[in-house]
Amino acid sequence: MMFAEFDDGAQTPDELPGAVGEFGRCADNPIPVNGPTGQVTYLSRLLTADTESRMAFHRLGSTTSHVLDAMVDIFELVSVDGTRYDRLYLDMYHLGQSQKAPEGYRLIGELTGITGTSIGSSRDFPLHIGQDAFEYACSIFGAPVVSSTLKDMDLEKARGLVKAM
């Protein structure tokens, strides 16, 4: 895997140089993170700014970007409280991870368990995201480090929101 390098050898910037469009919400301004595990840890730290709900997520696929020579991954997200839906674009080819949150979110300081997967689409998202995150965590981290907030998910509201999009 090739990682992006910057002239001064500095850590990954919060936003990519030359990026255009809304941060995290378009392929030409993806969120810089460090590999597939960095995608999962970054997205698991997101809280909605208004309701302070964690986000469940899965990877939909990849797309091209006009500002990078690499593919950008697309993630589908829904809040655990079932009030917010989003799609975010992440660039995993960096040695560090952005500390900037997209508009409408904030990042929690300490990760207390993952809330999704980067391996691929979750079956009937978000209905099986708890099991899919559990399997991902066990295969990648060697332990079931899944956030307990997933068991409190309002599945009916979250599923309705995902289907509406």
pTM for the predicted model, two decimal places: 0.91
Backbone angles phi, psi at 57, to 5 degrees: -155, 160
Long-range contacts, 18-23 (Cβ 8 Å, 24+): 18/67, 19/67, 20/66, 20/67, 22/102, 22/103, 23/100, 23/102, 23/103
User: Which tokens hold the place of 146?
Assistant: 């899944």
pLDDT of residue 2 exceeding 90: no
User: How confident is the model at residue 42, as a pLDDT?
Assistant: 97
pLDDT tens digits along 80-120: 999 999 999 999 988 889 999 999 999 998 898 999 999 87
Q: CB atoms < 10 A from the CB of 64, how many? A: 11
pLDDT tens digits along 3-42: 444 444 455 678 888 899 999 999 999 999 999 999 999 9
User: How confident is the model at residue 6, as a pLDDT?
Assistant: 44
Q: Which residues contact 70 (CB under 8 A, 6 or more apart)?
A: 2, 91, 93
With the C-alpha atoms ordered 141, 53, 43, 107, is the resulting torsion angle positive or negative?
A: negative
pLDDT tens digits along 120-148: 777 789 999 999 999 999 999 999 999 99
pLDDT band of 69, cuts 50, 70, 90: confident
User: How confident is the model at residue 11, as a pLDDT?
Assistant: 55
Nearest to residue 146, comparing CAs of 61, 33, 41?
41
